[in-house]
Amino acid sequence: MFDPIEKLKEHLRFPSVSTDSNFKEGMDGSRRFLESLFADMGLSVEVVNTPMHPIVLARREGNPEWPHVLIYGHYDVQPADPLEEWRSDPFDPVVKDGRLFARGAADNKGPQMAHIAAVAQALEEDPELPLRITFLIEGEEEIGSPSLKPFLESRKDSFSDVDLVLLSDTLSPTEKQIVVTVGLRGIAVLDVQVQGPSADLHSGLHGGAVYNPVQALCEICASLHDENNRVTVDGFYEGVTDVEDWERDELAKLGADEEAYKKTLGVGALHPIEGYTPFEATRYLPTLEFNGIGGGYQGEGSKTIVPSKAMTKISCRLVGNQDPKVIGERVKQAVLDRAPPGVSINVEMGHEGAPYLVTPPGRPNSPADMPGRLVYAFEATTKAIDESFGCSPLFLREGGSIPIIADFKSILGLDSVMIGLFLPEDNLHAPNESMNLDVLNRGIDASKKILFSIAKHG
Amino acid sequence: MFDPIEKLKEHLRFPSVSTDSNFKEGMDGSRRFLESLFADMGLSVEVVNTPMHPIVLARREGNPEWPHVLIYGHYDVQPADPLEEWRSDPFDPVVKDGRLFARGAADNKGPQMAHIAAVAQALEEDPELPLRITFLIEGEEEIGSPSLKPFLESRKDSFSDVDLVLLSDTLSPTEKQIVVTVGLRGIAVLDVQVQGPSADLHSGLHGGAVYNPVQALCEICASLHDENNRVTVDGFYEGVTDVEDWERDELAKLGADEEAYKKTLGVGALHPIEGYTPFEATRYLPTLEFNGIGGGYQGEGSKTIVPSKAMTKISCRLVGNQDPKVIGERVKQAVLDRAPPGVSINVEMGHEGAPYLVTPPGRPNSPADMPGRLVYAFEATTKAIDESFGCSPLFLREGGSIPIIADFKSILGLDSVMIGLFLPEDNLHAPNESMNLDVLNRGIDASKKILFSIAKHG
């Protein structure tokens, strides 16, 4: 009998941080764990090498007439730092108060395990289940999936008979209100380096003679938003699309509460763009965020220098038809254009991904040509969530980015059914990440129901 | 025979970083080194404990009619980081091309050794030298000498018969143009902490809803200077005094060359306040510098978060009659006042020191009541530098801060003769700090001449 919690704990012990080359061993361990897991389930496993981290493919083949579901997930995780803020070792999973604490518990090893366990249990219950399944688990999601797009392009034909993508790498607001995500923001990432004097200078002897690179960087960064928090880069909002009425209605049903949200985030005030609620702003609008900044002396006490260098990391979230390459380049150019004399600036573009949007069946703007098996999958999902969680799912856009979802659409022509299995309190990308085990168990149940329904519908 | 270079190397091996409590052992070692050194020279040594790092006093007593010179220095050094930019171990001194490389070589262990060696050699040459000498070597100069002021206040009487202070902790522009420093900037140091959300947030799920604390910090920092690089804090320039004509004439004799200065600093353009040359701006005007900034993710690759915190370290250099407490508080208040809603800011005041200014004899504004032994010391210094270095010294203000010099004046009523023994290329407070050994040897010679002259003059 497949034990999802034990398997998940085993998986979480591998520190599979894709962005940091010091974690190669953790990446290898996580990949090998998945290989064994899928092999034990009787699936045929293929490991596809890429320039960075391999992709794990696991297939249940069958009658070509059977429906074919592609289940997506990622085995890489965010860095665990700041380590000192964790209450337990991020790579030694601990269960407490019905939650499993570890880096990757919610993003994405836990939710991914819901579908793996669902398949394992479904095949135990009905070894003849008339359903083809392909798991595609990548190791580069947290760094923008650079290898997956070329992989999909080169293997396009092998995915031509897939009907839909199923995954859980999105948010639900509470365990009692599951969300099916129908839109994701795109992303463009930039790394900004500012060089001032060739070495740190004594701030007494030279202070007042040169442009301090920290000052230059602050002035550039401060210029990127206006007083209403709108981004001031020319053309930054190009490609932003309108929001449908049914979307606003659906979002209103969420009953999101600004006071509760402030409390969850631990802030005294929220700060959306003027004219939008924070719940709209995070879903319908692009952003330009500083993910980090550094330069000069940050240690104990003081060091009276004019620093030689400063840096910042920027990520932009994009929506609608925004092109991450175009918007990213505009931000880069704005940063370069705003450099004062006496400092030199270098901007490196990082990973990027397009925004994604699908309209589920039954809406005024639903596409007439949606394939029957996808229409049925959305309906089966609605029913399964109703039964397993005791609630009707809401169909909402989300602020996060899963660039590969746009790639599935643009390269394979496939839409995705995204079931939110992590919650706001799960601390994604932050210290003390955890997964609610009740949500995990209900998620397994719902996923199993969806797979049985799709198989039965044929 | 006293070997200054070997003794200096020995001293430089102690990593006496006063600002970082991890370096306690290096501080203890450096202090004990000085104790033995002075004892071996036949001086009576007293170690005065303070709440932080002890003060080393070493006295050559004698006839109360003899002149009494107080020689000041400090045995603490700046932190050595960024370590990766050093070409040799900062605490394993290496001689190369006539220079001795190590943290503290120029600030202040090398120049301090010039006076120690001068005294050692002078007493070897003339054990009956009619001169009283007190060495006062502290361990907190790099953190603003918090213990020295209370020490001077409590021991005021024991310094009542001192005639003048002699020290070398200031800059000369080249080995061929020695400068006697007659003014120092004061300093006020601030530590700014910005707190946004209680934990790092996923920049997709929450980006657009909250004020990013890095953005808030950049906006505050960027607001502190206007487009002409003037500080925008209300009352920041209060207490700045006029510059005398002879000072401008003396500075002009320096023949400072902006092109050469740009090259030395490795910048494409200089950035003084409008209306001043960089050489004037660093001497005559106050500054507000960012010594460091930090927040969020600064590692390899990317981490798409809204950071929870950000920080910056600020130091202000002050001139004329500016009060560091008053100006520091104004900067603190400006930072607090400019905090946007949704972040909270904490500003801690660090060390501080008043500016200092003395007019040497023979100038239009020289004080009529300057004590004879001080007048003579300035004259002896001029002559000694002429003979040892082959140049007439220039009497200039300098941009650096030695808060204790203002304290000697305000508490003990003593002026200081400050002979510049480090050079711009010595990389003070920076990686690959070094001391020019020819300057060191000429400095020993000059100091010995000055001591003999003062003794002879009586």
DSSP string, B3-68: -HHHHHHHHHTS--BTT-GGGHHHHHHHHHHHHHHHHHTT-EEEEE--SSSPEEEEEE---TTS-E
Q: Are A45 and A38 in contact (CB under 8 A)?
A: yes
* Contacting B residues, span 182-241, partner chain A, CB-CB under 8 Å: 185, 187, 189, 191, 196-212, 214-215, 217-219, 221-223, 225
Q: Which residues of B touch A196 (CB under 8 A)?
A: 267
Q: Which among A345, A19, A325, A76 is positioned nearest to A189, based on CA atoms?
A: A325
Q: Which among B365, B223, B364, B231 is positioned nearest to B285, based on CA atoms?
A: B231
A73 token code pair: 């997930």
Q: Which among B77, B348, B340 is positioned nearest to B223, based on CA atoms?
A: B340
**Does pLDDT of A401 surpass 90?**
no
**Does pLDDT of B20 surpass 90?**
yes
Q: Which residues of B touch A267 (CB under 8 A)?
A: 196-198, 210-211, 342-343
Segment A322-333, tens digit of pLDDT:
999 999 999 999
Q: Which residues of A touch B343 (CB under 8 A)?
A: 267
**Mean pLDDT, residues B116-142:** 97
Segment B363-398, tens digit of pLDDT:
998 999 999 999 999 999 999 999 999 999 999 999
Helix (H, G, I), strand (E, B) or coil at B135: strand
- Residues A367, A358: Cα–Cα separation, whole Å: 9
**Mean pLDDT, residues B38-53:** 96
Strand partners, B186: B318
Q: Which residues of B touch A279 (CB under 8 A)?
A: 209
Residue in A closest to B200 by C-alpha: A430
Residue in B closest to A271 by C-alpha: B210
Segment B69-81, tens digit of pLDDT:
999 999 999 999 8
Q: Exposure pattern of B91-129 as b/e (b: 16+ CB <10 Å)? A: bebeeeeebbbbbbbbbbbbbbbbbbbbbbbbbeeeeeb
DSSP string, B87-118: SS-TTS-EEETTEEESTTIIIIIHHHHHHHHH
pLDDT at res. B173: 87
The DSSP secondary-structure symbol of B411 reads I
Q: What percent of chain A has pLDDT over 70?
A: 100
Do B297 and A281 make contact, defined as CB atoms within 8 angstroms? no
CATH assignment, B4-184+355-457: 3.40.630.10
pTM of the model: 0.82
Cβ of residue A90 closer than 8 Å to a chain B Cβ: no
* Cis bond before residue B111 (omega within 30° of 0): no
Segment B163-207, tens digit of pLDDT:
999 999 999 989 999 999 999 999 999 999 999 999 999 999 899
Q: Is A71 exposed, middle or buried (0-12, 13-18, 19+ CB in 10 A)?
A: buried
Q: Are B107 and B420 in contact (CB under 8 A)?
A: no
Interface confidence (ipTM) of the complex? 0.82
- Residue A270 has its nearest CB partner, among B210, B304, B311, at B210
Centroid of chain to Cα A365 = 26
Q: At which residue do the structure tokens 């397993």 appear? A: A388
Cβ-based neighbours of B266, under 8 Å, separated by 6 or more: A197, A198, A199
Q: What percent of chain B has pLDDT over 70?
A: 100
- Residue A302 has its nearest CB partner, among B189, B261, B271, at B189
pLDDT at res. A444: 98
CA distance, residue A325 to nearest chain B CA (Å): 17
- CATH fold for domain A186-240+286-353: Alpha-Beta Plaits (3.30.70)
Do A341 and B269 make contact, defined as CB atoms within 8 angstroms? yes
**Does pLDDT of B1 surpass 90?**
no
**Does pLDDT of A3 surpass 90?**
yes
pLDDT at res. B143: 87
- Residue A221: pLDDT band with limits 50, 70, 90: very high
Picking from A74, A210, A254 by the largest number of B CB atoms within 10 A of its own CB, the best residue to mutate is A210
Q: Which residues of B touch A319 (CB under 8 A)?
A: none
- Residues B386, B192: Cα–Cα separation, whole Å: 47
Segment A224-245, tens digit of pLDDT:
999 999 999 999 999 999 899 9
Picking from A195, A205, A263, A309 by the largest number of B CB atoms within 10 A of its own CB, the best residue to mutate is A205
Do A210 and B398 make contact, defined as CB atoms within 8 angstroms? no
- Residues A419, A384: Cα–Cα separation, whole Å: 11
- Residue B144: pLDDT band with limits 50, 70, 90: confident
Q: Which residues of B touch A199 (CB under 8 A)?
A: 85, 266, 427, 430-432
- Residues B38, B130: Cα–Cα separation, whole Å: 19
Strand partners, A101: A94, A434
Cβ of residue B49 closer than 8 Å to a chain A Cβ: no
pLDDT at res. A143: 87
- Residue A289 has its nearest CB partner, among B18, B207, B268, at B207
- Residues B452, B448: Cα–Cα separation, whole Å: 6
Cβ of residue B367 closer than 8 Å to a chain A Cβ: no
Do A204 and B295 make contact, defined as CB atoms within 8 angstroms? no
The DSSP secondary-structure symbol of A233 reads S
- Residues A111, A441: Cα–Cα separation, whole Å: 10
Q: What percent of chain B has pLDDT over 90?
A: 91
Q: Which among B277, B245, B110, B251 is positioned nearest to B181, based on CA atoms?
A: B251
Give me the residue spans of the domains in chain B.
Answer: 4-184+355-457, 186-240+286-353
- CATH fold for domain A4-184+356-457: Aminopeptidase (3.40.630)
Q: Are B317 and B185 in contact (CB under 8 A)?
A: yes
